[in-house]
């Protein structure tokens, strides 16, 4: 059978999953561990030794020689330090060892990870703590143990800790509401996420000739090819054999790691594609999305390709996003954003739906903060990406229903329903009636919300912990009222009606890309935080710190240090981009313009030498244009150099604002000149492969 791939057998083959645990762990240990995992509660320390031993035996059989505490520092990617299982007993007798203590806690020398100042005031070292809710796996020769990364005084130093804390917050507040609907005490709440990851694939050869792609992941020069995405012929088009081979390789690697890769297709821009895996708990989805991004990058070179996960690798064509499909469900498996089959389920649905509407309206700023990066600034508000204004799309049917709740008038939609909550049955919202709007940043798509502002390279932990926290807060408020209510149904109806009426301004079903929406949103009082530096200061607003502290998700110190880090990252990214532009301009573009101009001048002279009658108008005009633009090029380079040199260290927000205005301004001017020159200079002189060559590099 040679190439036969046994998906049944290969799926999760490298994961210490439930089946493996059940088989290898003593019965009581298995029961205790799975109970903790399900309830997201602390592990009984006495079982750690047995779990570590089983994990080690299993990993050794898989060919592992090392283990690592795998964590997600504030850099946005993952970190790992390998320890081999090698140890000695007695007189240098080899034993392969992995203890419960080593499983539960690690102490990486983490002093070089960014902390935003947390450790200056606290401990110099951090520790990693095993997160049993995300399964361990073997990759290469290493056993990976998902962990959270904290300082000794307990400050979160990573992306995962606030996410885990926020999941607990939703659970705590949501449980109170479930209980009122008659759920058993042990039934809890989980948040789910399915992320759709977009990316570009280009040939290695063109990548290697683009220092901008190498240094910053996106092109800093270049103008659109004659054929971009105008014909829309790439979207869902036939997948080229080379790309298909890459995708197959990718999927097989992901499946072995327990990532349920489901959908793959070509996206709108040439060379752009998407992968989506089946949704799972927010925690696992976060780990798995990190692994997807990593695997995209490691599998591509095996096919002579390079994968770009940057938000806007090419100006003028679509950028890449990462739509986060998000929902809340019960540990029993019910989806709370699904209308359901009974009146009680409908009431519950409307209550949770109103909670999301209120949370998004009240906390537009935090949601915007959660997707704010230098790279995403280039994407938001451009081709096929939502604008920087947060709004919710609900679709016609649901809008009708909510409108009738607010007005007391029967809905106009065909689905005739009366609105005494708790009595009547709501229709289901099939995906095709809720999914027509692709322009909304936050769209209800049948039984989940799709947060479309998330950038392609971002860890989804940030957007998810914000979503969880803001919704937990509103659920808590609702629970306060409902627990005191004499007539539960009447109180639910009142809460739903009052909430949607008060927060209706956040609902917008129209075209979010339209100019008029910007004006309309302003009239409604919605925030329009266009850039990262506009958004980030909102993170540290006292009410936002209070909200995050109230739910034990982040402390004031943690919020402040995170803001500092995000601002620093913004400056660093722009600084690297500016330096890359200058290097390319000095070493590539300037010499090309000089050489080509010299050649044109030589042609004029030699033509005239042959005969004074020959016209040299074409050459003269070209030379004139080259000289004019060449002069501007020199000035633009000098201006960018000056802009960088004049940056003042000190206040990070001020520095970031300076970069966002002055440095970006100078970068844009330089790019404009260089792109014009690219249109004039003979391609054999030009130092960079063109957009056309890159976007159509994979044959």
- The footprint of ligand ADP (CB under 6 A) covers 192-194, 196, 263, 276-279, 325-327, 335, 447-448
Closer Cβ to ligand ADP, 272 or 325, answer by number: 325
State both tokens at 207.
């990548």
In whole angstroms, how close is the CB of 263 to Mg ion at the nearest point? 6
Closer Cβ to Mg ion, 133 or 457, answer by number: 457
Contact 565, 573 (CB under 8 A): no
Residue ranges in 101-140 that form contacts with Mg ion under rule CB under 5 A: none
Burial 553-590 (b: 16+ CB within 10 A, else e): bbbebbbbbbbbbbbbbbbebbeebbebbbebbeebbb
Q: Tell me the DSSP string of 233-296.
A: -STTPPPPHHHHHHHHHHHHHHHHTT--EEEEEE-SSTTEEEEEE--EEHHHHHHHHHHHHHHH
Residue ranges in 164-223 that form contacts with Mg ion under rule CB under 5 A: 196
Long-range contacts of 348-353 (CB under 8 A, 24+ apart): 348/177, 348/181, 349/426, 350/405, 350/421, 350/426, 350/492, 350/496, 351/177, 351/478, 351/492, 351/495, 351/496, 352/177, 352/328, 352/475, 353/444
Closer Cβ to ligand ADP, 210 or 323, answer by number: 323
In whole angstroms, how close is the CB of 443 to ligand ADP at the nearest point? 9
Contact 402, 394 (CB under 8 A): yes
CA distance 361 to 624: 56
Residue ranges in 629-668 that form contacts with Mg ion under rule CB under 5 A: none
Residue 273 β-bridge partners: 199, 266
In whole angstroms, how close is the CB of 387 to ligand ADP at the nearest point? 19
Question: What contacts 513, CB < 8 A, 6 or more positions away?
Answer: 387, 439
CA within 13 Å, CB half, 237: 16
In whole angstroms, how close is the CB of 276 to ligand ADP at the nearest point? 4
Closer Cβ to ligand ADP, 322 or 378, answer by number: 322
In whole angstroms, how close is the CB of 652 to ligand ADP at the nearest point? 36
Closer Cβ to Mg ion, 431 or 556, answer by number: 431
> Which helix (H) or strand (E) is 509 found in, with range?
none
Using CB atoms, what's the residue nearest to ligand ADP? Answer: 194
- Closest-CA residue to 589 (of 692, 691, 673): 673
Closer Cβ to Mg ion, 128 or 447, answer by number: 447
Choose the one of ligand ADP, Mg ion, none that binds residue 127, judging by a C-beta under 5 to 8 angstroms depending on kind: none
CA distance 459 to 137: 20
In whole angstroms, how close is the CB of 325 to Mg ion at the nearest point? 9
In whole angstroms, how close is the CB of 276 to Mg ion at the nearest point? 5
In whole angstroms, how close is the CB of 193 to ligand ADP at the nearest point? 6
> Which helix (H) or strand (E) is 154 found in, with range?
none
Q: What burial class does residue 468 get, using C-beta atoms within 10 Å of its C-beta: 0-12 exposed, 13-18 middle, 19+ buried?
A: buried
Choose the one of Mg ion, ligand ADP, none that binds residue 630, judging by a C-beta under 5 to 8 angstroms depending on kind: none
In whole angstroms, how close is the CB of 269 to ligand ADP at the nearest point? 15
Choose the one of Mg ion, ligand ADP, none that binds residue 564, judging by a C-beta under 5 to 8 angstroms depending on kind: none
Choose the one of ligand ADP, Mg ion, none that binds residue 327, judging by a C-beta under 5 to 8 angstroms depending on kind: ligand ADP
Closer Cβ to ligand ADP, 281 or 540, answer by number: 281
Choose the one of Mg ion, ligand ADP, none that binds residue 618, judging by a C-beta under 5 to 8 angstroms depending on kind: none
Choose the one of ligand ADP, Mg ion, none that binds residue 194, judging by a C-beta under 5 to 8 angstroms depending on kind: ligand ADP
Q: 39 phi and psi, to 5 degrees?
A: -90, 0
Closer Cβ to ligand ADP, 82 or 264, answer by number: 264
Q: 592 phi and psi, to 5 degrees?
A: -65, -45
Choose the one of ligand ADP, Mg ion, none that binds residue 164, judging by a C-beta under 5 to 8 angstroms depending on kind: none
In whole angstroms, how close is the CB of 194 to ligand ADP at the nearest point? 2
Closer Cβ to Mg ion, 294 or 435, answer by number: 435
Tell me: does residue 384 bind Mg ion (CB under 5 A).
Answer: no
Choose the one of ligand ADP, Mg ion, none that binds residue 98, judging by a C-beta under 5 to 8 angstroms depending on kind: none
Query: Which DSSP letter does residue 193 get?
Result: E
Closer Cβ to Mg ion, 12 or 196, answer by number: 196
Query: ∠ at Cα 240 (238, 245), nearest 5°?
Result: 120
Choose the one of Mg ion, ligand ADP, none that binds residue 544, judging by a C-beta under 5 to 8 angstroms depending on kind: none
Q: Provide the pairing of β-strand 442-444 with 392-393.
A: parallel
CA distance 83 to 106: 10
In whole angstroms, how close is the CB of 278 to ligand ADP at the nearest point? 4
Closer Cβ to Mg ion, 177 or 464, answer by number: 464
Choose the one of Mg ion, ligand ADP, none that binds residue 279, judging by a C-beta under 5 to 8 angstroms depending on kind: ligand ADP
What is the CA 523 to chain-centroid distance, rounded?
A: 30
Choose the one of Mg ion, ligand ADP, none that binds residue 153, judging by a C-beta under 5 to 8 angstroms depending on kind: none
CA distance 173 to 109: 37
Using CB atoms, what's the residue nearest to Mg ion? Answer: 196
Question: What contacts 687, CB < 8 A, 6 or more positions away?
Answer: 584, 587, 588, 589, 591, 592
Residues that bind Mg ion in the complex, under the rule CB under 5 A: 196
């Amino acid at each position: 059978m040679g190439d036969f791939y046994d998906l049944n057998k290969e799926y999760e083959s490298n994961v210490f999953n439930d089946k493996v645990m059940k088989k290898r762990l003593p019965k009581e240990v298995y029961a205790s561990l799975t109970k903790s995992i399900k309830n997201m509660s602390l592990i009984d320390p006495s079982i750690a030794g047995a779990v570590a031993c089983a994990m080690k035996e299993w990993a050794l059989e898989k060919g592992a020689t090392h283990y690592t505490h795998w964590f997600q520092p504030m850099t946005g990617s993952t970190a790992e330090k390998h320890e081999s299982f090698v140890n000695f007993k007695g007189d240098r007798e080899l034993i392969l060892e992995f203890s419960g203590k080593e499983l539960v806690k690690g102490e990486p020398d983490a002093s070089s990870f960014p902390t935003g100042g947390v450790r200056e005031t606290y401990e110099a070292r951090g520790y990693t703590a095993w997160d049993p809710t995300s399964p361990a796996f073997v990759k290469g020769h290493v056993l990976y143990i998902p962990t959270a990364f904290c300082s000794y005084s307990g400050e979160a130093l990573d992306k995962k800790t606030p996410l885990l804390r926020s999941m607990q917050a939703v659970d705590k507040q949501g449980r109170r509401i479930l209980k009122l609907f008659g759920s058993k005490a042990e039934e809890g709440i989980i948040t789910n996420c399915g992320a759709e990851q977009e990316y570009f694939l280009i040939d290695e050869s063109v990548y290697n000739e683009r220092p901008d792609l190498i240094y910053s992941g996106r092109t800093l020069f270049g103008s659109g090819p004659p054929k971009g995405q105008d014909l829309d012929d790439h979207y869902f088009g036939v997948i080229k054999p080379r790309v298909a081979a890459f995708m197959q390789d990718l999927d097989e690697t992901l499946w072995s790691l327990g990532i349920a890769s489901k959908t793959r297709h070509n996206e709108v821009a040439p060379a752009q594609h998407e992968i989506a895996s089946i949704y799972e708990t927010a925690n696992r989805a976060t780990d798995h999305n990190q692994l997807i991004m990593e695997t995209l990058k490691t599998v591509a070179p095996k096919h002579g390709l390079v994968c770009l996960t940057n938000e806007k690798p090419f100006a003028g064509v679509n950028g890449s996003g990462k739509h986060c499909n998000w929902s809340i469900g019960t540990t029993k498996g019910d989806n709370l954003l699904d209308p359901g089959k009974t009146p009680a389920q409908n009431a519950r649905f409307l209550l949770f739906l109103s909670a999301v509407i209120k949370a998004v309206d009240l906390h537009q700023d935090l949601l915007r903060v959660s997707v704010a990066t230098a790279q995403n600034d280039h994407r938001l508000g451009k081709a096929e990406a939502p604008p920087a204004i947060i709004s919710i799309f609900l679709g016609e049917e649901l809008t009708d229903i909510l409108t009738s709740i607010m007005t007391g008038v029967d809905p106009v939609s065909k689905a005739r329903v009366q609105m005494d909550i708790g009595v009547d049955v709501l229709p289901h919202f099939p995906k095709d009636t809720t999914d027509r709007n692709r322009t909304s940043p936050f769209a209800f798509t049948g039984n989940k919300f799709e947060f479309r502002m998330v950038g392609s390279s971002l860890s989804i932990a940030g957007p998810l912990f914000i979503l969880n926290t803001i919704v937990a807060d509103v659920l808590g408020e609702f629970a306060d009222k409902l627990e005191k209510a004499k007539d539960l149904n009447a109180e639910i109806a009142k809460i739903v009606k009052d909430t949607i009426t008060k927060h209706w301004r956040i609902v917008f079903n129209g075209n979010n890309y339209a100019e008029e929406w910007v004006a309309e949103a302003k009239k409604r009082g919605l925030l329009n935080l266009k850039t990262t530096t506009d958004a980030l200061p909102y993170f540290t607003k006292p009410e936002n710190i209070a909200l995050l502290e109230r739910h034990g998700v982040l402390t004031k110190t943690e919020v402040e240090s995170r803001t500092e880090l995000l601002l620093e990252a913004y400056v660093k990214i722009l600084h690297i981009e500016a330096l890359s532009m200058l290097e390319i301009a000095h070493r590539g573009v300037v010499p090309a313009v000089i050489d080509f101009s010299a050649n044109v001048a030589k042609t004029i002279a030699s033509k005239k030498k042959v005969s004074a009658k020959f016209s040299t108008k074409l050459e003269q005009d070209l030379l004139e244009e080259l000289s004019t633009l060449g002069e501007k090029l020199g000035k633009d380079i000098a201006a960018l150099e000056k802009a960088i040199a004049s940056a003042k260290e000190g206040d990070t927000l001020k520095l970031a604002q300076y970069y966002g205005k002055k440095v970006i301004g100078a970068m844009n001017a330089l790019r404009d000149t260089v792109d014009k020159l690219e249109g004039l200079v003979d391609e054999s002189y030009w130092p960079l492969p063109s957009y056309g060559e890159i976007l159509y590099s994979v044959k």
